[in-house]
Amino acid sequence: MKMFSMMGAALVLAFVAHAAMAEEGGDAKAKTQEIAGTVGCAHCSYSASLKNVEHCGAAFKSGDTVYLLKASEKADEATKAQVQKFKKELKGDFIITGTVTEEGGNKILVAEAIKPKK
């Protein structure tokens, strides 16, 4: 009986450890993808589709999904500048290469590269 209790405890610990590792590594396993859509202001254009957006910031809409747009640490300086100056440099339709995460109930598109949609 004692052996079954110890095996059960070991299984529970293994399950908890696996769940914790999966939760921590969720973003690390995000796949890089290309998404076509329209860049706009998170506050002025897409606030109805986003949660807790109180200020202007870059956002990206593809189909019915709206993403907050952030530059990846891996992005080149031109991409980082485009995201920073989205109201002047990023107007219209683009294809963004990056990964999708979620934070605060909003989807975040972390851009590695941005190119105009032709």
Contact 55, 34 (CB under 8 A): no
Angle subtended at Cα 42 by Cα 38 and Cα 43, rounded to the nearest 5 degrees: 135
**What's the confidence (pLDDT) of residue 24?**
42
**What's the confidence (pLDDT) of residue 22?**
45
Q: Choose between 22 and 93: higher pLDDT.
A: 93
Domain ranges of the chain: 1-30, 33-116
**What's the confidence (pLDDT) of residue 2?**
59
Q: How far is CA 85 from CA 43, 64, 88, 117, in A?
A: 15, 24, 6, 18
Report the predicted TM-score, pTM, of the whole model to 2 decimal places. Answer: 0.72
Could you say which of 2.40.50, 3.30.420, 1.10.287, 1.20.58 is the CATH number of the domain covering 33-116?
A: 2.40.50
Give me the mean pLDDT over the 20-46 stretch: 76
Q: How far apart are the C-alpha atoms of 78 and 86, rounded to whole Å?
A: 12
Greatest mean pLDDT range, 1-15, 39-53, 85-99: 39-53
Give the CA radius of gyration of the chain.
20
pLDDT at residue 17 is higher than 50: no
pLDDT at residue 1 is higher than 70: no
